[in-house]
Chains A and B, each alone.
Chain A
Amino acid sequence: MKKVLSVVLALAMLLSLASVAMADYSGDLKIWVAEATVEFTQKMVDQFKAAHPEYANMNVIIEPVGEGDAASNIITDVEAGADIFGFAQDQLSRLVAAGALLDVEPENAEIVKAENDAGSVAAVTLGDTMYAYPMTSDNGYFLYYDKSIVTDPSTLEQVLADCDAAGKKFYMEINSGWYQTAFFFGAGCELTFDSDDSGALVAMNAGYASDAGVKALKSMIKVAQSPAFVNGSSVSNATNLCAIVDGTWDATAAKEAFGDNYAASKLPTVDGYQMGGFGGFKMLGVKPQTDDDKLAACDALAAYLTSEEVQLARYNAVGWGPSNLNAQKNEAVQADEALSALASQLAFCEPQGQYPGEYWGLATSLGDDVIAKKYDNADDAALLEVLKNFEATCEGYLAK
Chain B
Amino acid sequence: MTDLDYLKLSKPQKMLVDLRRFLAALPGHIGNGLKNLVMFIVNFFKGIGLAIVDVIQTFIHGDWKTKVSYFVMGFGSCARGQWGRGILFFVFQTLFNFYMFNPNASQSGLYYLGKLSTLGTIETHKEGRRTVYGDNSFFILLYGVLTIFFIIAFIYTWYTNIQQNKISEQILKSGHKLKSTKDDLQSLMDEQFHKTLLALPVLGVTVFTILPIIFMILVAFTNFDMTHQPPGKLFTWVGWSNFHELLASDTASHGNTFRQVLLWTLIWAFFATFLNYFLGMLVAIMINKKGIKLKKMWRTILVMTIAIPQFVSLLYVSKMFAADGLINTYLMKWGWISAPIPFWTQPGWARFTIILINVWIGIPYLMLIATGILMNIPADLYESARIDGASAFQMYQKITLPYMLFVTGPYLLTSFTGNINNFNVIFLLSGGKPQSMELTGNAGYTDLLITWLYKMTVNDTNYKLAAVMGILVFLVLAIINLVAYNLIPSVKNEEDFQ
Complex contact A231–B130 (CB within 8 A): no
Rounded to whole angstroms, the CA-CA distance of A157 and B233 in the bound complex is: 50
> Which residue on chain A has the smallest CB distance to residue B228?
A98
Bound Cα distance from A61 to B108, whole angstroms? 34
Q: In this complex, which of A76, A200, A369 has the most chain B Cβ atoms within 10 angstroms of its Cβ? A: A369
Q: B325 contacts which chain A residues (CB < 8 A)?
A: 239
Stretch at the interface among B94-102, B369-377, B386-394, B432-440: B432-440
- Of the A-B pairs whose beta carbons lie under 8 Å apart in the complex, a sample of 17, sorted by A's number, is A75-B461, A78-B231, A97-B226, A97-B227, A227-B339, A239-B325, A288-B126, A290-B133, A291-B130, A358-B442, A365-B437, A365-B439, A366-B437, A368-B433, A372-B342, A372-B345, A390-B437
Are B460 and A99 interface neighbours, CB within 8 A? no
Interface flag for B444 (CB, 8 Å): yes
Chain A, 232-247, CB within 8 A of any chain B CB? 232, 237-240
Contact B346 A373 (CB under 8 A): yes
Contacts of A369 in B (CB 8 A): 434, 436-438
Residues from chain A with a CB closer than 8 A to the CB of B346 are 372-373
B324 within 8 A of A: yes
Known contacts A290-B131, A390-B437; A100 and B460 CB within 8 A of each other: no
Given A291-B130, A393-B437, A399-B227: 18 more A-B contacts, CB < 8 Å: A72-B458, A94-B226, A98-B461, A99-B233, A102-B129, A169-B324, A227-B340, A230-B324, A239-B324, A239-B325, A361-B435, A361-B441, A365-B435, A365-B439, A368-B436, A371-B342, A372-B345, A390-B437
Given known A290-B132, A292-B130, A372-B434, contact A78–B458 (CB-CB < 8 A):
no
Interface, chain B (partner A; CB < 8 A): 124, 126, 128-133, 226-227, 229-233, 251-252, 319, 322-325, 329, 338-340, 342, 345-347, 433-439, 441-442, 444, 458-461
Q: Which of A97, A365, A386, A399 has the most CB of B within 10 A?
A: A365
CA A291 – CA B131 in complex, angstroms? 8
Max chain A CB contacts within 10 Å: which of B133, B437, B439, B442? B437
Shortest Cβ distance from residue B136 to the other chain A in the assembled complex, whole angstroms: 9
Q: How many A-B residue pairs have CB under 8 A?
A: 117
A237 to B322 alpha-carbon distance, docked (Å): 11
Bound CA span A396–B346, Å? 27
Q: Are A240 and B324 in contact (CB under 8 A)?
A: yes
Chain A residues proximal to chain B, CB less than 8 Å: 72, 75-76, 78-79, 94, 97-100, 102, 105, 169, 175, 200, 227, 229-232, 237-240, 288-292, 295, 357-358, 361-362, 364-366, 368-369, 371-374, 386, 389-390, 393, 396, 399
Q: A176 CA to B375 CA in the complex, in Å?
A: 54
Q: Decide if A240 touches B232 in the complex (CB within 8 Å).
A: no
CA–CA, A386 and B438, complex, Å: 10
Measured CB to CB, the closest approach of chain B to A100, in angstroms, equals 6
Using Cβ atoms and an 8 Å threshold, which residues of chain A touch B436? 365, 368-369, 372, 374
> Measured between alpha carbons, how far is A362 from B443 in the docked complex, in Å?
10
Min CB distance, B202 to chain A, in Å? 30
> Do A290 and B130 form a contact, CB below 8 Å, given A75-B461, A364-B435?
yes
Which residues in A have their C-beta under 8 angstroms from that of B459?
Answer: 72, 361
Question: What are the 4 tightest A-B residue pairs by CB atom distance, in nearest-first order?
Answer: A99-B232, A361-B442, A288-B131, A368-B434
Q: How far is the CA of A175 from the CA of B438 in the complex (A)?
A: 15
* Chain A residues with CB under 8 A of B345: 231, 368, 371-372
A105-B129, A227-B338, A368-B345 known; A98+B226 contact, CB < 8 A:
yes
- For the complex, give the distance between the alpha carbons of A200 and B442 in Å: 21
Least Cβ distance of B374 to chain A in Å? 42
CB distance A76 to B461 under 8 Å?
Answer: yes
B433 contact set on A, CB distance < 8 A:
364, 368
CB <8 Å contact, A386 and B435: no
Q: Is the CB of A78 within 8 A of B324?
A: no
Among B129, B132, B231, B339, max chain A CB count under 10 A is at B129
C-alpha spacing A105/B130, complex, angstroms: 11
**Chain A residues with CB under 8 A of B126:** 288
Q: Determine the distance from Cα of A380 to Cα of B475 in the docked complex, in whole angstroms.
A: 44
Q: When A230-B324, A358-B460, A365-B435 are in contact, do A372 and B347 touch as well, CB less than 8 Å? A: yes
Question: Is B231 in contact with A79, judged by CB distance below 8 angstroms?
Answer: yes
Q: Within the complex, what minimum Cβ distance (angstroms) separates B141 from chain A? A: 16
Q: A361-B442, A364-B435, A365-B435 are in contact. Are A289 and B131 (CB under 8 A)?
A: yes
Shortest Cβ gap from A364 to chain B (Å): 5
Residue of A nearest to B133 (CB): A290
List the A side residues contacting B458 at CB < 8 Å: 72
Q: Which residues of A contact B251 (CB under 8 A)?
A: 396
B268: min CB distance to chain A, Å: 19
Whether the Cβ atoms of A78 and B444 lie closer than 8 Å is no
Knowing A75-B226, A99-B229 are in contact, say whether A231-B435 is a contact too (CB < 8 A).
no
A238 near B324 with CB under 8 A, answer yes
- Shortest B356–chain A CB gap in Å is 18
Bound-state Cα–Cα, A396 to B329, Å: 42
Assuming the A-B contacts A364-B442, A372-B434, A373-B346, are A75 and B229 also in contact, with contact meaning beta carbons closer than 8 angstroms in the complex? yes
Q: Is the CB of B233 within 8 A of A98?
A: yes
Q: Is there contact, CB below 8 Å, between B131 and A102? A: yes
Known pairs A289-B131, A295-B130; A373 contacts B342 (CB<8 A) = yes
Could you tell me the distance between the alpha carbons of A377 and B466 in the complex, rounded to whole angstroms? 37
Residue of B nearest to A299 (CB): B129
B28 → chain A, closest Cβ, in Å?
47
Give the chain B neighbours of A289 by CB distance below 8 A. Answer: 130-131
Q: What is the CB-to-nearest-CB distance from A223 to chain B, in angstroms, rounded to a whole number?
A: 13
B residues near A169, Cβ cutoff 8 Å: 324
Q: How far is the CA of A399 from the CA of B133 in the complex (A)?
A: 24
Query: Separation in Å of the B366 CB from the closest CB of chain A?
Result: 33
Chain A residues with Cβ below 8 Å from B124 are 99, 288
Assess A357 versus B439: contact at CB under 8 Å? Given A288-B131, A292-B130.
Answer: no
The docked-state distance in angstroms from the alpha carbon of A359 to that of B319 is: 27
Give the chain A neighbours of B231 by CB distance below 8 A: 78-79, 99
Nearest CB on A from B49, distance (A): 46
Would you call A371 and B434 a contact (CB within 8 A)?
yes
Pick from B126, B226, B324, B346 the residue with the most CB of A within 10 Å.
B324
Nearest A residue to B437, CB-CB: A365
Cβ A231 vs Cβ B323 within 8 A: yes
| CB proximity of A394 to chain B, nearest CB, Å | 12
- Hey, which chain B residues are within 8 Å of A78, CB to CB? 229-232
B389 to chain A, nearest CB (A): 54
Q: In the complex, which of the residues A230, A295, A368 contacts B323, with contact meaning CB atoms closer than 8 Å?
A: A230
In the assembled complex, how far is the CB of residue A105 from the closest CB belonging to chain B, in whole angstroms? 7
What residues of chain A lie closer than 8 Å to B229, measured between beta carbons? 75, 78, 98-100
Specify the chain A residue showing the minimal Cβ separation from B231: A78
Query: Cβ of B342: which chain A residues have Cβ within 8 Å of it?
Result: 371-373
Residues of B within 8 A of A389 (CB): 437
Q: How far is the CB of B224 from chain A (nearest CB, A)?
A: 12
Q: How far is the CA of A27 from the CA of B162 in the complex (A)?
A: 52
Chain B residues with Cβ under 8 A from A97's Cβ? 226-227
Report the Cα distance A271→B455, complex, angstroms. Answer: 36
Inside 8 A of B232's CB, which chain A residues have their CB? 78, 98-100, 288
Residues of B within 8 A of A200 (CB): 227
What residues of chain B lie closer than 8 Å to A227, measured between beta carbons?
338-340
Is A240 touching B329 in the complex (CB atoms < 8 A)? yes
Q: Which residue of B lies closest to A101 (CB)?
A: B232
